[in-house]
Amino acid sequence: MRQLILQLLLFTCFTTLMQAQTNSERIVSASGTISEILCELGLEKNLVGVDVTSTYPESLQKVPKIGHNRNISAEGVLALRPTIFVGIRHQLSPALEQQLKVAGIKTLLYEQEYSLQGTQKLIRQVATDFNLSAQGNLLAERVGKEVAALKKPTTRKKVLFIYARGAGSLMVAGKNTSVAQAIEMAGGENAANDFTDFKPLTAESLLQANPDVILLFTSGLQSLGGINGLLQVQGIAQTNAGRNRKIVEMDGQLLTGFSPRLGKALQELADKIR
């Protein structure tokens, strides 16, 4: 009995010590998804810098920005005196990782899979690395329940996602993209499944895909001048979506982040593409 009590006391002391260490960390996040996870785990106060995709919760707008995760400089990160740097591996340059490690910054880079299981795995990995495994398990389970409760459309619509940065820069999402996976999970059909990744939008590809719904980021639709501006793009008005003005928009990080808000994102998308 004494040995059991001693073991419990030692475990409690160890856990308390690890949590105290976690609470003193200065974290820089180069991923909106990981930033959301950290906030859900109660570590928002430890974030001393975030990238521009870290838009939720709104309070992160007050945290110093380190730029877009594709173009982060080591100098900008180091200026914030972090003890830990976190991000998604494929979004960051190997040179940045090496520079941070040489500077003595603990660097945690994760793989991201665009699925419910991938989201749950990422949540648990981040939570474990910050000594918050129990909280991570609860959060992952919550996300699973929210996705399981998803109410999908009764008919399967063809949805084409267009990435826009003004009329001169339009790209279409093919297979193996986060947005294509979100469309499928929400009960739609990605309208461009004959290629992978992204490719430039053409009038020919639009007519071939002939989507029932056209989906854009809110910022992308704004860059085109709204729905009327999009309808001026060659080929758009001739699609089923264009003729019916079935153009929908969503916040970019919500739609493609595969974050703890995955259930909310999929339900919003399902509702909009009905």
Instruction: Decide: 232 and 7 in contact? Cβ < 8 Å.
Output: no
pLDDT-derived band at 2, boundaries 50, 70, 90: low
Residue 167: per-residue pLDDT? 87
Angle at 236 between CA 234 and CA 237, to 5 degrees: 100
Residue 273: per-residue pLDDT? 98
Peptide bond into 200 cis (omega under 30): no
Say if residue 19's pLDDT is above 60.
no
Residue 253: per-residue pLDDT? 97
Q: What is the C-alpha separation between 31 and 67, in angstroms, rounded?
A: 11
Say if residue 264's pLDDT is above 80.
yes
Say if residue 181's pLDDT is above 50.
yes
- In CATH, which of 3.40.50.1980, 2.40.50.320, 1.10.10.10, 1.25.10.10 is domain 23-148? 3.40.50.1980
- The CATH code that applies to domain 158-272 is 3.40.50.1980
Domain boundaries in the chain?
A: 23-148, 158-272
Q: Is the whole-model pTM more than 0.85? A: yes
156-178 in b/e form (b: 16+ CB < 10 A) is: ebbbbbbbbeeeeebbbbbeebb
Q: Does residue 140 sit in helix, strand or coil?
A: helix
- What is the gyration radius of the CA atoms in the chain, in angstroms? 21
Average pLDDT for the chain: 93
Residue 21: per-residue pLDDT? 53
Residue 198 DSSP label: E
Say if residue 249's pLDDT is above 60.
yes
Say if residue 51's pLDDT is above 50.
yes
Tell me the mean pLDDT in the region 138-165. 98
pLDDT-derived band at 23, boundaries 50, 70, 90: confident
Residue 22: per-residue pLDDT? 62
Instruction: Decide: 32 and 65 in contact? Cβ < 8 Å.
Output: no
Instruction: Decide: 170 and 200 in contact? Cβ < 8 Å.
Output: yes
Residue 10: per-residue pLDDT? 45
Q: What's the first-to-final CA gap in the chain, in angstroms?
A: 62
Burial of 99 (0-12, 13-18, 19+ CB in 10 A): middle
Instruction: Decide: 88 and 31 in contact? Cβ < 8 Å.
Output: yes
Residue 3: per-residue pLDDT? 56
CATH fold match for the domains 23-148 and 158-272: yes
- Range scoring the smallest mean pLDDT among 10-19, 117-126, 132-141, 194-203: 10-19
Q: What is the C-alpha separation between 15 and 250, in angstroms, rounded?
A: 41
Residue 60: per-residue pLDDT? 98
Q: Which two tokens stand for residue 263?
A: 């259930």
Q: Does residue 28 sit in helix, strand or coil?
A: strand
Residue 86: per-residue pLDDT? 98
